[in-house]
Amino acid sequence: MAIDEEQGVSMNSDANDVVQIHFKCTQAPEAWVETHLSEGLKLSRNMIAWRQRWAVLFDHLQCTDCQRLQNIWLADEAFKHDHSCGFSDERGQHPWHDLASILGELPSPRRTVED
């Protein structure tokens, strides 16, 4: 067993040579993730979380739980979920704007300079 106190990481190796890595964390797990994930991974995580709730169908978004739809030009209105929908919480109210916010974090296009 090796412990690197400075890194806050310990590694265990059991009899079957399965290595387990443990991270000592003084922050809440969510704060640790925020601190240590790269911007690209945050973008991926946010997009995956959004996609778990929504599907794009042409100019509509569909809730993946209640299957209700909203047209893009109604983006300023709260999404009308079925009363039994599991995604009708605060995060389920303005999915177009949530998508725009995620896409607003896209890395800028890499430009090539042509003289």
Residues that bind Zn ion (CB under 5 A): 63, 65-66, 81, 85, 87
In the complex, the smallest distance separating the C-beta of residue 74 from Zn ion, rounded to whole angstroms, is: 15
Q: How far is residue 11 from each of residues 14, 25, 36, 46, 88, measured CA to CA in Å? A: 10, 15, 19, 30, 42
- Residue closer to Zn ion (CB basis): 33 or 65: 65
- Residue closer to Zn ion (CB basis): 89 or 105: 89
In the complex, the smallest distance separating the C-beta of residue 81 from Zn ion, rounded to whole angstroms, is: 3
Using DSSP, state whether 83 is helix, strand or coil: coil
- Residue closer to Zn ion (CB basis): 38 or 84: 84
In the complex, the smallest distance separating the C-beta of residue 47 from Zn ion, rounded to whole angstroms, is: 19
CA distance 99 to 80: 17
CA distance 77 to 92: 12
- Residue closer to Zn ion (CB basis): 43 or 75: 75
In the complex, the smallest distance separating the C-beta of residue 66 from Zn ion, rounded to whole angstroms, is: 3
What are the CB-based long-range contacts (under 8 Å, 24+) for 105-108?
Answer: 105/39, 105/42, 105/43, 105/46, 106/43, 107/39, 107/40
